[in-house]
Amino acid sequence: NAGVMQNPRHLVRRRGQEARLRCSPMKGHSHVYWYRQLPEEGLKFMVYLQKENIIDESGMPKERFSAEFPKEGPSILRIQQVVRGDSAAYFCASSPRGGGVSYGYTFGSGTRLTVV
């Protein structure tokens, strides 16, 4: 089992471009969580998805950010018209069912986005 796979590991985008971050959960996991870590800060919750459903997107900025987890394929976090403040590490975690907190998430290696 390859675990939670995130790609790319590093992504450089110019201001105004789009960034697409992918997350393939562990086999058998149908719940995905995205977190963002700004420099010198802890991780901040962004969104919780199940297959074809957004359960909680309360941590997502209202504009430019969107997330999906289709029936087939990885979860995608999409950032349109990136700005320098979007530079951060984006982590994805998965769990086999809801309530992932109680028994610990399985994390991916993260995607480090740099906006130049």
Tell me, what DSSP letter sits at residue 26? P
CB of 18 to other proteins, least distance (A): 26
**In which region does residue 30 sit, left (phi positive, over 0), alpha (psi from -120 to 50) or beta (all else)?**
alpha
The total of other beta-carbon atoms located within 10 Å of residue 1's CB is 7
Site string for other proteins, 91-110 (x = CB under 8 A): x---x--xxxxx-xx-xxxx
Which residues ranging from 18 to 77 are in contact with other proteins (CB under 8 A)? 31, 33, 35, 40-45, 48, 55-56
Across the chain, which distance is largest between two alpha carbons, in Å?
39
Closer residue to other proteins, CB minimum distance, 18 or 56:
56
Residue 30, strand partner residues: none
Residues that bind other proteins (CB under 8 A): 3-4, 31, 33, 35, 40-45, 48, 55-56, 91, 95, 98-102, 104-105, 107-110
